[in-house]
Homo-oligomer: A and B are copies of this chain.
Amino acid sequence: MKTKEAVGALQALAQETRLEIFRLLVRKGTGGMAAGELSGHFAIPAATMSFHLKELSQAGLLVSRRESRSIIYSANYEHMQVLLGFLLENCCSDNGGKC
């Protein structure tokens, strides 16, 4: 993972509504939730929710699939694990591993 990619993912998560969308989808697992369900759940206009879902998807944190008229979003755990690894990479290596 490169710095710019990590910044993109962190920026996507660094917003109250988006962080809660992501955390809800983390709980939901592979089942995920439809865009409309999410706007209902957070009482947010569809256009605003769509903007947030695009931000999270472009950052690689969500994946989506179409199911009939709905678009189902779910968390991308693998990408999240890579991000978390990047954040603490080589922890304390310049201090003999002493944190």
The docked-state distance in angstroms from the alpha carbon of A33 to that of B23 is: 34
CA distance A15 to B3 in the complex (A): 9
Contact A26 B92 (CB under 8 A): yes
Given A87-B23, A91-B77, A99-B77 in contact, is the A3-B16 Cβ separation under 8 Å?
A: yes
Shortest CB-to-CB span from A91 to chain B, Å, is 5
Main SS at interface, chain A = helix
A10: nearest residue on chain B (CB-CB)?
B14
Contacts A10-B19, A29-B97 given; 13 further ones with Cβ under 8 A? Answer: A3-B20, A4-B16, A10-B14, A23-B86, A23-B89, A26-B87, A27-B94, A29-B93, A29-B95, A29-B98, A29-B99, A30-B95, A80-B88
